[in-house]
Amino acid sequence: MAITSLNHSSMCSCTWLQSSAPPPLPPLRVCCYSSTQLSVHKTLTHIHSSGVIASLRANSAELALKAARDALSGGISVLEIVMSTPGVFEVVLQQLVQEHPATTLGVGTVLNVEDAKNAINAGAKFLMSPAMVKDIMVDAQCGEVLYIPGVMTPTEILSAYDSGAKIVKVYPVSALGGIRYILHSRGLFITSQWLLLRA
């Protein structure tokens, strides 16, 4: 059995175990849960205490920065910047992280691992998708960034939970009946405290 270790940060080491005997087994990922999970827990706690994730979509980086600054000065403490915003990584997110290091900033509509890595490198504390992107979910298990996958049905909610999601985004909840759908869904998962309403 070969053991390969990959360090994602100085605090967490992820290991893949792979059998060399036929038939070949798929890699098994084993991760530590030290300071990396503390970062995720801190982000999750901040989201829950905030009660809202403000979502920002703008046609220019300048407009996005102005709107974000206004929202943050107005009391918003958790802000998602949507991927379609021009300069989302290199201009908007990096600047806001420098100006507001204690704020929980994230990137939304993340659909692939490359964009997830760019968001993390720019300082995102959470990633959000309109659906569950399995490759991002796998990478998030060893990362310091909270991943919030999008779900629609009870089956998708359970699948996301079984895959390691700590919180989900019900999307598009307005098309499903809004708060009534959330209330009925919460009844199915009464022991879970991790449903996130997103219209």
For the annotated catalytic residues, the residue numbers are 80, 169
- Peptide bond preceding 172 in cis form (omega within 30 of 0): yes
> What's the CA gap between 49 and 198, in Å, rounded?
16
